[in-house]
Structure 1
Amino acid sequence: MTDALPPLDHIPADLVSAADYQRYASHYLSANARAYIDSAAADELSHAANLSAFARWRLQTRVLADVRGGHCRRELFGLSLSHPLLLAPVAYQKLAHADGERAAAYAATAVGSSMLVSTLASTPLEEIAAAAQGPLWFQLYWQPQREVTLQLLRRAEAAGYRALVLTVDAPLAGVRNVEQRAGFQLPPAVYAANLPGQAMALPALLGGQSVVFDSFMAQAPRWEDIAWLRQQTRLPLLLKGVLSVADAELAVQHGVDGIIVSNHGGRVLDTVPASLEALPAITAAVGERVPLLLDGGVRRGSDILKALALGAQAVLIGRPFVHALSVAGALGVAHLLRILQEELEVAMALTGCRTLDDIDRRLLWPQ
């Protein structure tokens, strides 16, 4: 369908999982919005792999364990979280709901979670921080001019953001054929509110030059930029989009405080491994030195448990909360987070885990 239904003001009885929110969202998102939110790169194999990677792991149950008084609370870079689950940075959330990022941030902090606010948010970062009931993190896309990058950082610091997350796996957009076929365009009222008048100006090309290598990649960040950024702020600095052990090692060497293992929801380069597939090797290499987070494919509380068992300290969700946002605004996002927390607690109890400290690879059935 082309026209979207208005968001609900209540939660229907049959809306009990992330999959249900995805099903409902097909009626509450416009076709144009779905082309952006639900698409992935090329043949979408990496997006599918993110989901199937969790299904391949089996959980080892434990019976008669004493888990009385258990909980799934986590301390992470100064955040006191009710559960190890945050909202991933997603651009242009007003595509899904008129209140966009304000509603999502309010819902997340109201239920003891938090949100990573995108540079490409459709609401200014200051307004999002004011709407939230608790602290947020800021996701930074490197800008062609260092002074613009620094301006974004200073704005985030002034607004009270608690950590800086630099996305490093998307120096240029992936080849998203679904978007191309649908002719996706941002509506006039939806734009990058944090970058007014900062449309990217690509260098002029000479004959024989490449738009990829001589335009986009000529302005992309490099390791020396990470060293510079580390010097500009006392905020915890995380890199988002690391899949290789070599890059994880370099990140630690450059003073990064945390790593988000992620393939960008399969939206940048197709046929890269699922985030969960990359996690164990990165855990073995640097997991004792910096906290690791993971995003990509998390749809169940049992998925969260598996990610933690493989070395993550927390996980992020993207598409699922945008689906919930489109269906019921802040109410939907809060409800989804409650569902996932309850599913995680059930999975912990049935695998003999009283707290998150009890979670390790022994919970996973040998592959």
Structure 2
Amino acid sequence: MKSERRDGLGRQAQSRIFRDGTYGRRPLVPVDPDLLERKAKRAMSRRAYAYVAGSAGMERTADANRRAFGDYRIVPRVLRDVEDRDLSVELFGRRLDSPLLFSPVGVLELAHRDADLAVADAARELGMPMVISTQASTTLEDCASRLDGSPAWFQLYWSNNDDLVTSLVQRAETSGCDAIVITLDTHMIGWRPRDLDLGSLPFARGEGLAQYTSDPVFTRLVEERAARGDDAPKRRPTLAAIRSLLSMSRKHPGGFWNNLRSPLPRAAVETFLEVFSRSSLTWDELSFVRERTKLPIILKGIMDTEDAHRAVDCGVDGIQVSNHGGRQIDGSFAAIDALPEVAAAVDGRVPIIFDSGVRTGSDVFTALALGAKAVAIGRPYVYGMAVAGAEGATEAMRNILAELDLTMGLAGCATLADITSRSIRRC
């Protein structure tokens, strides 16, 4: 951590907030998770909030993710020296100041105009890894440059075009990323009523496609499609269609006015929809990426012990227990409930990352106690960014880290190694 000592994060954060309060100043972003979300909702468009906050179906999985943390209770231990606390952790040969990561979140331009660059600024300030999304609004090269040596991982959505997969992996390695995170649970987009009721898919408007439109393989596919004339409008244009075309033209590389007259922006959207994912992917094909990079490979979306065993047997370097924050399947069980079983199956052979439903420092503590080595945060930092840009994202993550620090001290844990299964009980 660049600006604060690790051993006093919680107390320093509290002191700063209370000191500012004596002058009538409130926190930059709300500390309470529910209040933070409500304030972010007011700052975002209806379409943007639907995309970020929405989950699959009746959102029972997202609700289960949050509620399940309440089934675990922290066991405080006393008369232990916790004056100096060390929150650092080693992952894939790199020592990190804390166990928190910025989860990959797509189409961040919906939340704030600075999008992924704001997250890079926050991650650099806090010394936390940023997992750069395939569906980013900014190229991974620009994000890596903005991170300026701070840890960067790349999240890979596995396209049905092998050349594109190869190109994305090579770009991540060339850009200095520390790991490849292959997302397994989004080979098709879940049924998300909030987006569906608005008829809103950001990618269809050219949003969140920066990794693709900056890629030489994807560019070639787009040019070939445009040359065939496959995407000429076949229906009378509507006002909504015109708005979508304007959005595509603004987001596509090159000048806006040239793009308006060009078939390329529309061809890029159609090409993306065609090549985005591969539902035929099997375990046997994981070697394809392994043969193309020396970077550690993490499989994201593991919820079953058999899958965990299979992943380790396939030689991956880490797994991420996740149900995509409830965005993919309505009625799935909570990710935190999958964690202890998966951790037992892995038995320390590879590190486990966790995400889904985490909103507070005590949630992070629980995940660490159940077997995670690091915890990835998603919506909370996006809400912070929606409220106050890079500073808001920084503050939202710093608040979670501060609460984790205090929770550790109050529970009698001076280091992350002190957080074990004995640190919690299930009700």
Could you tell me which amino acid in structure 1 is paired with residue 336 of structure 2?
A: L
Q: 1:158 to 1:28 in 2, by over 3 A?
A: same
- SS of 2:425's equivalent in the other structure is coil
The farther-off stretch of 354-363 and 63-72 is 63-72
Cα deviation, residue 71, structure 1: 1.8
Aligned-partner Cα distance in 2 for 1:106–1:11: 23
2:177 aligned residue (161, 165, 168): 161
The SS at the match of 1:232 is coil
- 8 A Cα contact 1:325 1:332, kept in partner: yes
Match 1:190 to one of 195, 207, 210: 207
TM-score using structure 1 length:
0.89
After the TM superposition, which residues 92-171 of structure 1 pair with which residues of structure 2 at under 5 Å, given as runs? 92-133=107-148, 134-171=150-187
| Matched residue, 1:210 | none
Identity over aligned residues, as a percent? 41
Match of 2:90 in 1: 75
One-letter code of the match for 2:183?
A: T
C-alpha separation in 2, matches of 1:119 and 1:218: 14
Secondary structure of residue in 2 paired with 1:365:
strand
In 2, distance between residues paired with 1:144 and 1:175? 21
Q: CA deviation at 1:163?
A: 0.3
Task: Quote the offset at 1:137 in angstroms.
Answer: 0.1
Match of 1:175 in 2: 191
Shift in alpha-carbon separation, 1:216–1:346, aligned structure 2, 3 A:
closer
Kindly indicate whether the alpha-carbon contact (under 8 Å) linking 1:287 and 1:311 is maintained by their aligned counterparts in 2. no
Q: Deviations over 1:205-262 (max 9, x none)?
A: xxxxxxxxxx998654211211221222110000000100111111111110000000
Helix, strand or coil for the counterpart of 1:345?
A: helix
Deviation at 1:74, TM superposition (A): 1.2
Which of 251, 267, 273 is the equivalent residue of 2:327? 267
Q: Determine which structure has more spread, i.e. the larger CA radius of gyration.
A: 2
- Mark the runs of 5 or more structure 2 residues left unpaired by the alignment: 1-24, 214-218, 226-274
Instruction: Summarize the Cα distance change of 1:263–1:13 in structure 2 as closer, same or farther, 3 Å threshold.
Output: closer
The answer (yes or no) to whether the contact 1:167–1:239 under 8 Å persists in 2 is yes
Which of 281, 301, 304 is the matching residue for 2:341?
281
Aligned amino acid, residue 273 of structure 1 = F
Q: How many angstroms apart in 2 are the aligned matches of 1:14 and 1:195? A: 33
Deviation of residue 270 (structure 1)? 1.2
Which consecutive residues of structure 1, in runs of 5 or more, have no partner in the other structure? Answer: 1-9, 202-214
SS in 1 for 2:154: strand
After superposition, residues 336-351 of structure 1 pair within 5 angstroms as 336-351=396-411
How many pairs align?
344
Q: CA deviation at 1:184?
A: 1.7
Q: Is the 8 A contact 1:264 1:296 kept in 2?
A: yes
Separation (CA, whole Å) in 2 of partners of 1:97 and 1:64: 46
Q: Quick one: structure 1 residues 87 and 131, their matched pair in 2 at CA, closer, same or farther if it must change by over 3 Å?
A: same
Q: Cα 1:99–1:14, aligned 2, differ >3 Å: closer, same or farther? A: closer
Deviation at 1:79, TM superposition (A): 3.4
Go from structure 1 to structure 2 and tell me whether the alpha carbon gap of 1:70 and 1:225 turns closer, same or farther (over 3 Å shift).
Answer: same
Q: Separation in 1 of the partners of 2:118 and 2:26?
A: 16
**In 1, Cα distance between the equivalents of 2:317 and 2:423?**
27
